[in-house]
Structure formats: structure tokens, C-alpha cells
């Protein structure tokens, strides 16, 4: 008879790690013979619950999400700005954004965790948040053009400068980089630049450039708010931003770079790689649905996010993404913009092997799903052996 | 970006480069050709950080919400 250890080893070959864990916990204190029988039954049960080969899992996932999403359109709550947190579009608009992998989602936000030593210190966190916000010259100074002398006069607003903890020299240095010209004069309340502008029009252009020059903060962070989190009776603070720049935020020394999160899938793909993007996609979809009180089995969403990241980059669901990449002409034509697909296929003289579901349905063949996916064929190898 | 920051981030699972032998074993186990595996770009930040080259297979150890630790394989491609 095999030992208990071997039995577990056998199980580990087939069962996922989490199942093994719960089984180990639940069988504590059972007699060996009883335990063995129990485990055998459990293994049988697991095998039965597995998805059978040929099951159209993609279709099931689409249905699972699609059905719930229809309900969601009807009962998405509309919340008018509450709590200090920034509002991300919810419900259907957000789900669409995620599945289509939009280039500019409505609200991109970073949830920034601060290092443990600092995250209880409200003042310090406030300071970090303030230093993060993007400030343009326009916000701290009055910018004027002197058309006679063809120069730009910047009058600093002392109050605003103080609030942002900025010094005129620093600001002037930033403007210098932007205009590629040394300032003529820098004083406490004024700085004068004389760019190489021959016409008034080009002077105006330089002024616009100076006005929108970033004098402080991280590019892309429009606003940063601090959010209180309670852990037992200890209060901790984290920063939520409007606009993201994960790459630069992770570089900050005060930030806990391990836990900081961004809800922009594209950005995460660029900074942390495709696997991280898949994870964020999964988390975002699930969180979005949860907020609407909808539960969809995790497996469906994992399948969708796996399909979207299969090529090593993000592919949208829809005609430009995974649905448009099918090899079959008829399958492509059965989904949006039929004429275009058929015309280009005719031009190029493409052939359709009729292997997929959609095209087989069109011509009235058995579809390759379930028992239809099996074919009988003579094995070449065995023939050779004889 | 710093390599450690990237590889220790909570969203980034563990990526390992498989040796040729291990890779062949995986392909045999699933009965597929390398091109049929999901891909990861050679210029993916993580692939760059662990210096994976085109044609290698990466083993990714994910924390799955349903099954605990699971393995996923991706082929490094251009």
C-alpha cells in the first residue's frame, strides 16, 4: 500500500495548489483508510467538474459577461461626487473602456502607497501630494508680452508661489529649459525673457510655450488627493491622483513602489509588462462589476483577459482586436463591416478553409464545438510501425 | 526604471526562463508547437529585465484567485 505522502504527491499532479491546501486542512484527524477513500472521491469529483474538451468556453464567457452587462446598463447608479475619492467612470462606460483598451480612458488614476515610516504622518503625505501635482507657470505668475521690446515679462504672484513652495530662480531655470534662452533678468517678483522672436506671431508662440511650461510636479498629474485608510485604530494615508505617470511616480523615494497601483492598462503594460497589464485588466473588470453588485465567475474574466493579452500586447475585443484577426474571410465578414471584408478578400483572391464556427454555420456544416470538434483520422505513426 | 522595483512590484508575477529541455517538455505536455503558446514581446519590461531572448519560453508563476499558484507559459517573440 502506498504511504500517505505518495497519495498526496499523486493528487498534486492533478489538483491545483489551493484545492490541496483546503483538502489538507479538512482531512486533519481522519483515519488513514477513511482519508484515502475521501480523497479518492474528491479527485473523482474534481475530474468531473473540469471543463470538457471541445466546450466553447469563449462563448460562455461572452454570454456570462454580456447578459450581466445588459442589466447593468439599466441600473447603473449615478453618484454625484461624494467622498473625497476621485470618481472613475463606472458601470457600462468603464467596462467598454476596458474591453476596447481605449487610448484615453476618462479617468486615469494612480493609487499611491507611501512607505511605512511615513504613511501615518498626514502633514508629510500632504506635502508629498502637493509636490506631485503639476503646476504650470500660468498658475503662479502673470505672463505678459512686451511687443515693443519683443520680450516676455513674468510677474510672480508671491502668495501662490509661497503656497507651492517655489523660488523665482527655480521657476526661471525651468522656463529657460523650455524656451532655450537665458533670462535677461531674474528678480524676486519678476523675470524677463527675450526669446529669438523676429515677428509678433512667433513671440506669441513663445509666450504660450512659457505659460504652459511645467514649473513643478510630475508630468500628467493634474490633481493629487490624500485618502485616509483605517487599519485597526491606526490611520494611514495614501494618495490618489487624477492622471497617471507610473514610471515617474515609482521613482520617488517616499513612495512604496511595491504596492502602488495604476488603473490605466496601457500604461501598466508599458511600465510593468504584459503580465501586470493582464492582472490590472482582471482586477479592474472585477472591481467594476462588484461596484454594480454583479458577480461573474472569475474564470470567465480570466479567460477574457488572457485572450486580450495573448499576443504579448493588448488586443481590444471588437473588430480592431481579437475578432478582426480571424483567418477566415467569412468569419470576419459575419461581424461588422461585411462589405469591406468581402471586397478586400475578393481583390486578393483569398480562400477560406471553413474551419471555424461562424463560417461553418454559414455554409451549413457541423460546427467544431463539443462532439463536432473530433475527427477520425488514421495515425501515421502507427502505420509506419507496422 | 530600477530592475528591483520592477520585479518586486505586486502586479508583476515571477517570470523564469526555461532551458531548452524544460521548454520541450512543456510543449510535449500540452501537445503544441511553440508558435501556439501565448506570446510576450522581447521588449516587454520584464522580459528585458530578465534578459530573455527571442524563441525562449518563459514560465510565469501566477497567483490565481481560483487555483492558488498556477503556471503559465509565454514564448518570447519579436
Boundaries of every domain in chain A: 4-49, 135-216, 326-373
Q: Which of A247, A276, A299 sits opposite B11 (nearest CB)?
A: A276
d(CA A217, CA A241): 12
Q: Which of A16, A280, A310 sits opposite B11 (nearest CB)?
A: A280
Contacts with B10 from chain A: Cβ below 8 Å: 258-259
pLDDT at residue B57 is higher than 80:
yes
What is the tens place of the pLDDT at every residue in A72-126? 777 655 555 555 455 556 777 888 888 888 887 777 888 888 888 887 788 888 8
A234-242 and A223-231 beta bridge pairing = antiparallel
Contacts with B11 from chain A: Cβ below 8 Å: 261, 268, 272, 275-276, 279-280
Q: Which residues have C-beta within 8 Å of that of residue A293, sequence separation ≥ 6?
A: none
A298–B65 C-beta distance less than 8 A = yes
Per-residue confidence (pLDDT) for residue A84, from 0 to 100? 47
B74–A312 C-beta distance less than 8 A = yes
For A326-373, the fitting CATH number among 3.30.300.30, 3.40.50.300, 1.10.150.390, 3.40.50.2300 is: 1.10.150.390
The pLDDT > 90 percentage for chain A reads 10
Range in A86-100, A125-139, A250-264 with the lowest mean pLDDT: A86-100
pLDDT class of A383 with cuts at 50, 70, 90: low
B5–A250 C-beta distance less than 8 A = yes
For A135-216, the fitting CATH number among 3.40.1130, 1.10.238, 1.10.1790, 3.90.1150 is: 3.90.1150
pLDDT class of A1 with cuts at 50, 70, 90: low
d(CA A191, CA B69): 60
B38–A306 C-beta distance less than 8 A = yes
d(CA A220, CA A110): 11
Per-residue confidence (pLDDT) for residue B24, from 0 to 100? 93
Contacts with B70 from chain A: Cβ below 8 Å: 16-17
Within an 8 Å CB–CB cutoff, is residue A335 touching chain B?
A: no
pLDDT class of B74 with cuts at 50, 70, 90: very high
Sheet of B68-77, strand order: B14-17, B57-64, B68-77, B39-41
pLDDT at residue A382 is higher than 70:
no
Contact, A215 vs A160, CB < 8 A? Answer: no
Q: How far apart are the first and last CA of chain A?
A: 39
Range in A203-212, A338-347, A366-375 with the lowest mean pLDDT: A203-212
B68–A17 C-beta distance less than 8 A = yes
Contacts with B66 from chain A: Cβ below 8 Å: 16, 18, 298-299, 302
pLDDT at residue B53 is higher than 70:
yes
Q: How far apart are the first and last CA of chain B?
A: 22
ipTM metric: 0.94
d(CA A163, CA A168): 13
A312–B67 C-beta distance less than 8 A = no
d(CA A263, CA B3): 22
Per-residue confidence (pLDDT) for residue A88, from 0 to 100? 59
pLDDT at residue A277 is higher than 90:
yes
Within an 8 Å CB–CB cutoff, is residue A307 touching chain B?
A: no
Contact, B26 vs B18, CB < 8 A? Answer: yes
Report how far apart, in Å, the C-alpha atoms of A97 and of each of A267, A272, A318 are.
Answer: 14, 20, 12
d(CA B22, CA B14): 17
What is the tens place of the pLDDT at every residue in A264-276? 899 999 999 999 9
As a 3-state breakdown, chain A gives helix, strand, coil percent values, each rounded to 5, of: 50, 15, 40
Q: Which of B5, B60, B62 sits opposite A257 (nearest CB)?
A: B5
Return the DSSP state at A17. H
Mutation pick from B5, B11, B61 vs chain A, by most beta carbons of A within 10 Å, is B11
pLDDT at residue A257 is higher than 80:
yes
What pTM does this model have?
0.82
Instruction: Kindly report each contact of residues A266-269 with a partner whose C-beta sits within 8 Å and lies 24 or more positions away, as own/partner.
Output: A266/A101, A266/A103, A266/A314, A267/A108, A268/B11, A269/A313, A269/A314
Domains observed in chain B: 3-77 (3.90.940.20)
Top mean pLDDT of A131-140, A216-225, A358-367 is at A358-367
d(CA B13, CA B47): 12
Q: Which of B1, B62, B69 sits opposite A247 (nearest CB)?
A: B1
Size of interface A-B (CB pairs under 8 A): 92
Average pLDDT, chain A: 82
Within an 8 Å CB–CB cutoff, is residue B37 touching chain A?
A: no
Range in A5-14, A149-158, A182-191, B43-52 with the lowest mean pLDDT: A182-191
Which cell numbers in the block locate residue A212?
504652459
Nearest CA in chain B to A308: B38
> Packing angle between helix A265-272 and helix A274-291, nearest 10 degrees?
150
Amino acid at each position: 500500500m502506498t504511504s500517505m505522502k505518495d497519495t498526496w504527491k499523486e493528487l498534486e499532479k492533478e489538483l491545483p495548489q489551493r484545492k490541496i491546501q483546503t483538502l489538507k486542512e479538512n482531512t486533519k484527524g481522519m483515519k488513514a483508510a477513511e482519508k484515502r477513500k475521501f480523497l479518492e472521491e474528491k479527485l473523482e469529483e474534481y475530474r468531473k467538474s473540469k471543463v470538457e474538451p471541445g466546450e466553447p468556453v469563449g462563448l460562455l464567457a461572452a454570454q456570462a459577461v454580456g447578459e450581466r452587462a445588459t442589466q447593468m446598463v439599466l441600473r447603473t447608479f449615478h453618484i454625484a461626487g461624494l467622498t473625497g475619492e476621485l470618481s472613475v467612470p463606472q458601470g457600462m462606460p468603464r467596462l467598454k473602456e476596458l474591453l476596447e483598451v481605449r487610448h484615453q480612458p476618462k479617468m486615469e488614476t494612480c493609487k499611491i502607497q507611501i512607505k511605512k515610516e511615513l504613511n501615518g504622518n498626514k502633514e508629510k503625505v500632504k506635502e508629498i501630494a502637493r509636490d506631485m501635482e503639476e503646476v504650470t507657470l500660468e498658475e503662479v505668475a502673470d505672463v505678459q508680452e512686451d511687443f515693443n521690446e519683443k520680450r516676455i515679462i513674468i510677474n510672480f504672484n508671491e502668495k501662490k508661489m509661497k503656497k507651492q513652495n517655489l523660488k523665482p530662480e527655480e521657476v526661471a531655470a525651468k522656463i529657460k529649459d523650455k524656451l532655450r534662452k537665458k533670462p535677461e533678468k531674474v528678480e524676486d517678483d519678476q523675470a524677463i525673457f527675450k526669446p529669438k522672436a523676429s515677428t509678433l506671431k512667433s513671440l506669441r508662440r513663445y509666450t504660450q510655450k512659457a505659460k504652459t511650461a511645467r514649473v513643478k510636479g510630475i508630468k500628467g498629474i493634474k490633481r493629487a488627493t490624500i485618502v485616509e485608510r483605517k487599519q485597526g485604530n491606526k490611520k494611514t494615508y495614501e494618495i490618489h491622483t487624477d492622471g497617471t505617470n507610473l514610471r515617474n511616480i515609482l521613482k520617488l523615494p517616499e513612495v512604496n513602489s511595491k504596492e502602488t497601483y495604476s488603473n490605466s492598462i496601457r500604461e501598466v503594460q508599458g511600465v510593468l509588462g504584459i503580465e501586470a497589464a493582464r492582472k490590472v485588466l482582471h482586477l479592474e473588470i472585477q472591481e467594476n462589476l462588484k461596484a454594480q453588485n454583479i458577480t461573474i465567475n472569475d474564470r470567465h474574466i480570466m479567460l477574457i483577459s488572457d485572450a486580450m493579452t495573448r499576443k504579448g500586447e493588448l488586443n481590444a475585443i471588437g473588430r480592431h482586436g481579437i475578432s478582426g484577426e480571424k483567418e477566415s474571410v467569412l468569419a470576419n465578414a459575419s461581424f461588422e463591416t461585411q462589405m469591406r471584408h468581402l471586397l478586400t478578400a475578393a481583390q486578393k483572391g483569398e480562400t477560406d478553409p471553413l474551419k471555424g464556427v461562424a463560417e461553418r454555420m454559414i455554409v451549413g456544416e457541423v460546427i467544431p464545438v463539443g462532439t463536432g470538434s473530433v475527427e477520425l483520422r488514421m495515425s501515421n505513426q502507427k502505420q509506419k510501425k507496422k | 526604471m530600477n530592475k528591483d522595483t520592477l520585479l518586486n512590484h505586486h502586479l508583476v508575477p515571477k517570470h523564469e526562463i526555461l532551458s531548452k529541455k524544460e521548454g520541450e517538455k512543456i510543449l510535449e505536455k500540452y501537445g503544441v508547437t511553440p508558435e501556439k503558446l501565448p506570446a510576450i514581446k522581447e521588449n516587454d519590461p520584464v522580459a528585458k529585465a530578465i534578459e530573455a531572448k527571442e524563441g525562449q519560453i518563459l514560465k510565469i508563476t501566477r497567483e490565481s484567485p481560483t487555483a492558488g499558484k498556477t503556471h503559465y507559459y509565454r514564448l518570447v517573440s519579436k
